[in-house]
Structure 1
Amino acid sequence: MLEKAMQRDAESRIFEKEIKKLGEILMADPALLEKLDTTPDKSAFIDMYMAMAKERGLKFTRDDLLIAVQEQKQGQDWILPKKVIRMIADRF
């Protein structure tokens, strides 16, 4: 039963894999992290994060990103890298 629930969650939250992939890309490229860190506010941060994902063929929505951010702020589902979370804390 637990396995079925975990499988259902994995299938219904496909965006988590895509957001994690972008996080891995960002952590491997300090220049991208630095570029992201230049964003002055929440809206600009989201726009740049989404643009970076699109440029790399990753698919998730603004709402998916906001869900991930909110859950991490509540201490759940660690999807985003800590460095990105620090940037979010300054803007959100």
Structure 2
Amino acid sequence: MIKSALDRDQQSRAFEKPIKQFGELVVADPALLDRLDEAPDKDSFVDLYCGLAADRGIHFSRDEMLVAVQEQKHGSNWVIPNVVLRMIAERF
């Protein structure tokens, strides 16, 4: 029963994996962090984040990113690195 629930969650929340994957790249690359820090507001930050991920073959939608941000702001589903979350908090 627990395994089936985990499988269901992984399928319905498949977008978390690419968001987390890109977050790991961002943390490892100071140039990406600097580029993201140039975004002046929430919309441009989210668009840039999704675009930079897509440039690297990692795909998730703007809406999926916003879901991850909102959930993480409320203390659950930690898929976005803290350094990125701090940048987001400055813009939201």
TM-score category (smaller protein): over 0.9
Percent same amino acid among aligned pairs? 54
> What residue in structure 1 maps to residue 20 of structure 2?
20
Question: What residue is the counterpart of 1:75 in the other structure?
Answer: 75
Residue 85 of structure 1 corresponds to 85
- Equivalent residue letter for 2:74: Q
Compute the displacement of 1:47 (Å).
Answer: 1.2
Aligned-residue CA RMSD (Å): 0.6
Deviation at 1:2, TM superposition (A): 1.4
Gaps in structure 2 of 5+ consecutive residues: none
CA distance in 1, matches of 2:77, 2:16: 9
Q: Name the count of aligned residue pairs.
A: 92
User: Deviation digits for residues 24-70 of structure 1, max 9, x if unmatched?
Assistant: 10011001001101111001101110111110111111110000000
Aligned to 2:3: 3
Q: Which residue of 1 aligns with 2:37?
A: 37
Structure 1 consecutive aligned stretches of length 4 or more whose deviation exceeds 3 Å: none
- Unaligned ranges ≥5, structure 1: none
SS at 1:76 equivalent: coil
Residue matched to 1:57: 57
C-alpha distance in 2 between matches for 1:87 and 1:56: 21
What is the CA–CA distance in structure 1 between the aligned matches of 2:11 and 2:32, rounded to whole Å? 29
Give the TM-score of the pair, scaled to structure 1: 0.97
